[in-house]
Protein backbone atom coordinates (compact mmCIF):
# COMPACT_ATOMS: atom_id res chain seq x y z
CA UNK A 1 0.00 0.00 0.00
CA UNK A 2 1.53 3.37 -0.97
CA UNK A 3 2.05 6.02 1.67
CA UNK A 4 0.30 9.38 1.57
CA UNK A 5 2.51 12.29 0.55
CA UNK A 6 0.42 15.10 2.05
CA UNK A 7 -1.10 16.20 -1.26
CA UNK A 8 -4.04 13.85 -1.34
CA UNK A 9 -2.19 11.63 -3.77
CA UNK A 10 -0.33 8.48 -2.95
CA UNK A 11 3.44 8.27 -2.95
CA UNK A 12 5.42 5.09 -3.52
CA UNK A 13 7.50 3.64 -0.71
CA UNK A 14 11.26 3.66 -1.35
CA UNK A 15 14.30 2.46 0.55
CA UNK A 16 14.75 6.10 1.58
CA UNK A 17 11.26 6.20 3.13
CA UNK A 18 11.05 6.44 6.89
CA UNK A 19 8.53 3.60 7.12
CA UNK A 20 8.80 1.26 4.10
CA UNK A 21 5.44 -0.17 3.13
CA UNK A 22 6.78 -3.43 1.72
CA UNK A 23 5.81 -6.41 3.84
CA UNK A 24 8.64 -7.41 6.12
CA UNK A 25 10.39 -10.57 4.90
CA UNK A 26 13.59 -10.99 6.91
CA UNK A 27 16.33 -13.05 5.30
CA UNK A 28 19.92 -14.01 6.02
CA UNK A 29 22.85 -13.46 3.70
CA UNK A 30 26.59 -14.03 3.91
CA UNK A 31 28.77 -11.19 2.70
CA UNK A 32 32.52 -11.38 2.04
CA UNK A 33 34.29 -8.17 3.09
CA UNK A 34 38.09 -7.95 3.11
CA UNK A 35 38.30 -11.73 2.89
CA UNK A 36 36.00 -12.40 5.85
CA UNK A 37 32.55 -13.95 5.56
CA UNK A 38 30.10 -12.00 7.70
CA UNK A 39 26.45 -12.92 8.38
CA UNK A 40 23.79 -10.23 7.99
CA UNK A 41 20.04 -10.14 8.41
CA UNK A 42 18.30 -8.14 5.70
CA UNK A 43 14.68 -7.41 4.80
CA UNK A 44 12.40 -6.07 2.11
CA UNK A 45 11.98 -2.30 1.93
CA UNK A 46 15.69 -1.57 2.42
CA UNK A 47 18.44 -0.80 -0.07
CA UNK A 48 19.99 -3.82 -1.83
CA UNK A 49 18.28 -6.25 0.49
CA UNK A 50 19.95 -9.47 -0.65
CA UNK A 51 23.55 -8.55 -1.48
CA UNK A 52 26.20 -5.87 -1.45
CA UNK A 53 25.57 -3.52 -4.35
CA UNK A 54 28.55 -2.70 -6.63
CA UNK A 55 28.82 0.86 -5.30
CA UNK A 56 29.13 -0.30 -1.71
CA UNK A 57 31.69 -2.91 -2.74
CA UNK A 58 33.81 -0.22 -4.39
CA UNK A 59 33.50 2.05 -1.37
CA UNK A 60 34.63 -0.76 0.93
CA UNK A 61 37.65 -1.42 -1.28
CA UNK A 62 38.85 2.13 -0.67
CA UNK A 63 38.25 2.33 3.08
CA UNK A 64 41.75 1.12 4.10
CA UNK A 65 43.18 3.97 2.00
CA UNK A 66 40.86 6.55 3.60
CA UNK A 67 41.32 5.79 7.30
CA UNK A 68 44.32 7.08 9.25
CA UNK A 69 45.87 5.76 12.49
CA UNK A 70 44.72 8.83 14.43
CA UNK A 71 41.07 8.45 13.43
CA UNK A 72 38.62 7.61 16.19
CA UNK A 73 35.08 8.52 15.09
CA UNK A 74 33.44 7.39 11.88
CA UNK A 75 29.96 7.98 10.49
CA UNK A 76 28.31 5.66 7.96
CA UNK A 77 25.70 7.96 6.43
CA UNK A 78 22.82 6.08 4.82
CA UNK A 79 23.93 2.89 6.53
CA UNK A 80 21.18 0.59 5.28
CA UNK A 81 21.45 -2.78 6.99
CA UNK A 82 24.92 -1.86 8.19
CA UNK A 83 27.48 -3.51 5.90
CA UNK A 84 29.98 -0.63 5.67
CA UNK A 85 29.93 0.63 9.24
CA UNK A 86 29.82 -2.82 10.79
CA UNK A 87 32.74 -4.05 8.69
CA UNK A 88 34.76 -0.98 9.69
CA UNK A 89 33.91 -1.39 13.39
CA UNK A 90 34.87 -5.06 13.29
CA UNK A 91 38.21 -4.59 11.55
CA UNK A 92 39.25 -1.49 13.52
CA UNK A 93 37.96 -2.01 17.08
CA UNK A 94 39.59 1.23 18.31
CA UNK A 95 37.10 3.19 16.17
CA UNK A 96 33.62 4.13 17.29
CA UNK A 97 31.28 3.89 14.33
CA UNK A 98 27.76 5.29 14.01
CA UNK A 99 25.39 4.35 11.23
CA UNK A 100 22.55 6.74 10.35
CA UNK A 101 19.63 6.08 8.04
CA UNK A 102 16.20 7.61 7.52
CA UNK A 103 14.71 4.12 7.08
CA UNK A 104 13.81 2.82 10.53
CA UNK A 105 13.63 -0.78 9.31
CA UNK A 106 17.19 -0.50 8.02
CA UNK A 107 18.36 1.02 11.32
CA UNK A 108 16.85 -1.87 13.29
CA UNK A 109 18.60 -4.35 11.00
CA UNK A 110 21.95 -2.58 11.35
CA UNK A 111 21.71 -2.60 15.12
CA UNK A 112 20.69 -6.27 15.09
CA UNK A 113 23.56 -7.19 12.79
CA UNK A 114 26.08 -5.39 14.98
CA UNK A 115 24.72 -7.15 18.06
CA UNK A 116 24.91 -10.60 16.51
CA UNK A 117 28.58 -9.96 15.74
CA UNK A 118 29.18 -8.83 19.32
CA UNK A 119 30.27 -5.30 18.42
CA UNK A 120 30.31 -2.77 21.26
CA UNK A 121 31.82 0.04 19.15
CA UNK A 122 28.90 0.42 16.74
CA UNK A 123 25.54 2.19 17.02
CA UNK A 124 22.79 2.64 14.45
CA UNK A 125 20.48 5.65 14.68
CA UNK A 126 17.42 6.84 12.79
CA UNK A 127 17.77 10.26 11.20
CA UNK A 128 17.50 12.27 7.99
CA UNK A 129 21.09 13.44 7.84
CA UNK A 130 24.45 13.36 9.62
CA UNK A 131 23.33 15.57 12.50
CA UNK A 132 21.53 12.55 13.96
CA UNK A 133 24.92 11.28 15.12
CA UNK A 134 25.64 14.32 17.31
CA UNK A 135 24.15 12.85 20.49
CA UNK A 136 26.45 9.83 20.23
CA UNK A 137 29.46 11.49 18.61
CA UNK A 138 29.48 15.09 19.87
CA UNK A 139 31.87 17.41 18.11
CA UNK A 140 33.60 16.92 14.75
CA UNK A 141 34.00 13.57 13.06
CA UNK A 142 37.13 12.07 11.55
CA UNK A 143 35.57 10.28 8.58
CA UNK A 144 32.16 10.13 6.93
CA UNK A 145 31.48 7.27 4.53
CA UNK A 146 28.36 7.36 2.37
CA UNK A 147 26.58 5.62 -0.45
CA UNK A 148 23.96 8.38 -0.73
CA UNK A 149 20.34 7.84 -1.87
CA UNK A 150 20.75 8.99 -5.48
CA UNK A 151 17.16 8.05 -6.29
CA UNK A 152 15.97 10.56 -3.72
CA UNK A 153 17.17 13.29 -6.07
CA UNK A 154 20.13 15.60 -6.46
CA UNK A 155 18.76 18.19 -4.04
CA UNK A 156 18.64 15.62 -1.25
CA UNK A 157 22.15 14.35 -1.95
CA UNK A 158 23.62 17.85 -2.11
CA UNK A 159 21.97 18.66 1.21
CA UNK A 160 23.48 15.58 2.82
CA UNK A 161 26.94 16.46 1.52
CA UNK A 162 26.66 20.05 2.76
CA UNK A 163 25.46 18.92 6.19
CA UNK A 164 28.34 16.45 6.34
CA UNK A 165 30.85 19.22 5.70
CA UNK A 166 29.58 21.07 8.76
CA UNK A 167 30.45 18.13 11.04
CA UNK A 168 34.03 17.74 9.88
CA UNK A 169 37.18 19.37 11.29
CA UNK A 170 40.41 20.27 9.46
CA UNK A 171 41.98 17.04 8.27
CA UNK A 172 38.72 15.10 8.33
CA UNK A 173 37.49 13.28 5.24
CA UNK A 174 34.28 12.48 3.40
CA UNK A 175 34.10 9.57 0.95
CA UNK A 176 31.02 9.18 -1.23
CA UNK A 177 30.40 6.53 -3.86
CA UNK A 178 28.38 7.83 -6.81
CA UNK A 179 27.22 6.08 -9.95
CA UNK A 180 29.05 7.69 -12.87
CA UNK A 181 25.99 8.11 -15.06
CA UNK A 182 24.02 9.59 -12.17
CA UNK A 183 26.13 12.70 -11.89
CA UNK A 184 29.43 11.71 -10.30
CA UNK A 185 31.27 14.53 -12.07
CA UNK A 186 28.78 17.17 -10.98
CA UNK A 187 28.89 15.94 -7.39
CA UNK A 188 32.68 16.17 -7.50
CA UNK A 189 32.38 19.81 -8.55
CA UNK A 190 30.04 20.43 -5.62
CA UNK A 191 32.59 18.92 -3.24
CA UNK A 192 35.36 21.02 -4.77
CA UNK A 193 33.38 24.13 -3.86
CA UNK A 194 32.85 23.07 -0.23
CA UNK A 195 36.07 21.28 0.70
CA UNK A 196 39.76 22.14 0.66
CA UNK A 197 40.53 19.14 -1.54
CA UNK A 198 38.28 16.87 -3.60
CA UNK A 199 39.23 14.12 -6.01
CA UNK A 200 38.14 10.84 -7.56
CA UNK A 201 39.84 8.22 -5.42
CA UNK A 202 38.69 5.13 -7.31
CA UNK A 203 36.43 4.11 -10.17
CA UNK A 204 35.04 0.82 -11.39
CA UNK A 205 31.87 -0.96 -12.41
CA UNK A 206 30.21 2.29 -13.40
CA UNK A 207 30.84 3.95 -10.02
CA UNK A 208 33.29 6.48 -8.60
CA UNK A 209 34.46 7.00 -5.05
CA UNK A 210 34.83 10.72 -4.43
CA UNK A 211 37.13 11.75 -1.58
CA UNK A 212 36.98 15.23 -0.05
CA UNK A 213 39.10 16.64 2.77
CA UNK A 214 38.52 19.68 4.94
Whether 93 is covered by a domain: the verdict is yes
Q: pLDDT confidence of 49, banded at 50, 70, 90?
A: confident
139: left (phi over 0), alpha (psi -120 to 50) or beta: left
Confidence (pLDDT) at 197: 96
Lowest mean per-residue pLDDT among 18-22, 26-30, 50-54, 163-167: 18-22
Of residues 105 and 5, the one with the higher pLDDT is 105
* pLDDT tens figures, 134-143: 888 877 899 9
Confidence (pLDDT) at 15: 57
What is the Cα–Cα distance from 48 to 45, expressed in whole angstroms? 9
Confidence (pLDDT) at 1: 28
Kindly report the average pLDDT of the chain as a whole number.
89
Confidence (pLDDT) at 200: 98
Whether 4 is covered by a domain: the verdict is no
Average pLDDT of the residues in 169-173: 95
For residue 59, the domain's CATH number is 3.40.50.150
Confidence (pLDDT) at 22: 67
Which whole-number Å values give the CA distances from 145 to 5, 6, 12, 13, 67, in the listed order?
30, 32, 27, 25, 10
Q: pLDDT confidence of 25, banded at 50, 70, 90?
A: confident
Whether 95 is covered by a domain: the verdict is yes
Query: Is residue 12 pLDDT above 80, yes or no?
Result: no
Whether 185 is covered by a domain: the verdict is yes
Whether 3 is covered by a domain: the verdict is no
Query: Is residue 167 pLDDT above 50, yes or no?
Result: yes
Whether 65 is covered by a domain: the verdict is yes
Confidence (pLDDT) at 134: 87
Whether 2 is covered by a domain: the verdict is no
Provide the domain limits for residue 132: 9-15+23-213
Q: pLDDT confidence of 18, banded at 50, 70, 90?
A: low
Whether 1 is covered by a domain: the verdict is no
| Residue 131, φ and ψ in degrees, nearest 5 | -60, -20
| Domain count across the chain | 1
Q: Which of 164, 173, 150 is nearest to 62 (CA)?
A: 173
* pLDDT tens figures, 79-124: 999 999 999 999 999 999 999 999 999 999 999 999 999 999 999 9
Confidence (pLDDT) at 45: 77
Amino acid sequence: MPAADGTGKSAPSHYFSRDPQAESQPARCMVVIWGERLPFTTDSGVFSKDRLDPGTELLLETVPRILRPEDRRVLDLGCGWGAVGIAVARRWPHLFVVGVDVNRRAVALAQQNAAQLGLSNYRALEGDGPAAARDVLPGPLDVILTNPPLRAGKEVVLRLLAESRALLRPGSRLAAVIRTRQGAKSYLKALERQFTLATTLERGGGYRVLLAEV
